[in-house]
Amino acid sequence: MPAKRNWINRKIEPETPFKVCFVCLGNICRSPTGEGVFRHLVNREGLDSFFEIDSAGTAAYHEGEPANSRSSRVAELNGVRLLSKARKFEHSDLDYFDLVLAMDRENLRDLKSLDPQNRFQSKIMLLRDFDPVPGDREVPDPYYGGIHGFELVFEIVMRSCEELLQQIRPHIQNPS
């Protein structure tokens, strides 16, 4: 079931945009898909000025690389462009972003280990906390598998991001 707790406690305006960062391991497959899909949905609703959208990886293996070609291909077939450049998630990102969305439990554990004093726990969640389809809570790592895994990632990310935007929408001040 989608997360129900009250996790936004302020109005969202262009002067104080809602800042969300999607996080996976390498920042070349799942989190660039999250960034691209959420950007696409926000843009489609004319809400760009209310958001800052980014992605990062818990590891630096692919620093500076664009999204994986298989992720990009699947996204483009669905009308979504992936424009990310891989970077490692930094401790300062925990302070900066309003919401940090992990793709799997390993990412979640790694993010939480950056916050031993539990100052930012309420803003670190699994993306699939927003997935309206019941089941596993992880976006599976597609890197070593076939194209079907990338299609599955796209589907999961799309429906989770749609629900995420629905939940954020009531907090947006005077959308046009």
Work out which of 18, 20, 22, 27 binds ligand 4NP, going by CB under 6 A.
27
Q: How far apart are the first and last CA of the chain?
A: 30
Residue 131 annotated in active site: no
* Nearest alpha-carbon partner for 35 in 1, 73, 86: 86
In angstroms, rounded to a whole number, what is the distance separating the alpha carbons of residues 91 and 98? 14
User: What's the sign of the alpha-carbon dihedral 97, 144, 36, 170?
Assistant: negative
Beta carbon of residue 17, minimum distance to ligand 4NP (angstroms, whole number): 25
Beta carbon of residue 86, minimum distance to ligand 4NP (angstroms, whole number): 8
What element of type H or E holds 58?
A: none
Contact between 128 and ligand 4NP (CB under 6 A)?
no
- 98, 129, 131, 141: the catalytic one is 141
User: Got the DSSP string for 132-146?
Assistant: SS-S-SS----TTS-
Identify which of residues 69 and 122 has a Cβ nearer to ligand 4NP in the complex: 69
Report the residue closest to ligand 4NP, judged by CB: 26
Contact between 172 and ligand 4NP (CB under 6 A)?
no
Work out which of 37, 141, 150, 158 binds ligand 4NP, going by CB under 6 A.
141
Q: Assess contact for 127 and 32: CB atoms under 8 A.
A: no
- 21, 30, 54, 98: the catalytic one is 30
E-strand stretches of the chain: 18-24, 51-57, 99-102, 124-126
Work out which of 21, 29, 102, 158 binds ligand 4NP, going by CB under 6 A.
29
Residue 105 annotated in active site: no
Site for ligand 4NP in 48-67 (CB under 6 A): 61
What element of type H or E holds 34?
A: helix 30-44
Residue numbers of the site for ligand 4NP (CB under 6 A)?
24-30, 61, 141, 143
